Structure 1
Amino acid sequence: MPRSRKPTYDELVGLVAAQAAQIAELERQLGSTSRNSSKPPSADGLAKPAPKSLRRPSERHPGGQPGHPGAALRQVDHPDHIVTHAPDRCPACGGVLDECCDVGVVARQVVDLPQVRAVVTEHQILTRRCACGHLTAGTAPAGVAAPVSYGPA
């Protein structure tokens, strides 16, 4: 087995300097990711520094600005269904309120989207017999080639 050559003093000094630089870089990376080297950065918990916004401060207040028209959900004039919720009895005296006059109404509307369902169109291709005895079948529209298929849309 051949003997390996011993490094010179200058080579060892260069090697130590390169390793020291590598250690310093690794310590810098480790220090920027977590405050505790035995835990991942996500385990820092509430001790993490607050994130800093990159936005520049503005003179405007947060939220809608004066003069903005807004876009709130509005009630419709003619709802599809009206359900009346009337009290049965007076909580003060226990009297029945069926025959009493209505003195106020508060309207609250709920907007529901219709349930999505498939619309199925059946194409019936008729076969007819001529007076001469010949059978002739109708033709299906383009794209209707199977007993069941999805439409173009």
Structure 2
Amino acid sequence: QLPFLQFMYDGKIKIVPIVISLQVPEISQDIAMAIHKAVEDLNRDAVLIATSDWTHYEPYEVAYRKDMEAIDRVLSIDPEGLFRVIEEKKVSACGYGAIAVLLYLAKMRGIRRAELLKYATSGDIAGRRDSVVGYASIRVPILEGG
């Protein structure tokens, strides 16, 4: 995504990458608070992007079921529920801590719902459904007040 963004904004974009290795609620909350404070203090426009794939190398039906349970928590702006589903259902999403940062930030700003733009799996493209990876595009309107 970074080369695309740099091209679209002709290099006039500031990017602050944040990498989360320990994906636990407390870390995600702390990062969300820091971002919230920085955006408020700087009084500047900001776009936040969290990237992750979802379930890895499961049959399509299993991946879809697991992913939709987790995605439902995202759409409901429920970071605690997301962590719970990830753990209980063994969803192998890589970047759920970053997604939780967005959800905690959305809660701080009074956002109640996110929008699922698209869900697909590698099987939808490659045709193999015995072992897929899930992907979703979800819009969380953090800077629009809900």
Higher strand share goes to which structure?
A: 2
Q: Which has the higher contact order (CA 8 A, sep 6+)?
A: 2
Larger Rg: 1
TM bucket normalised to smaller? under 0.3
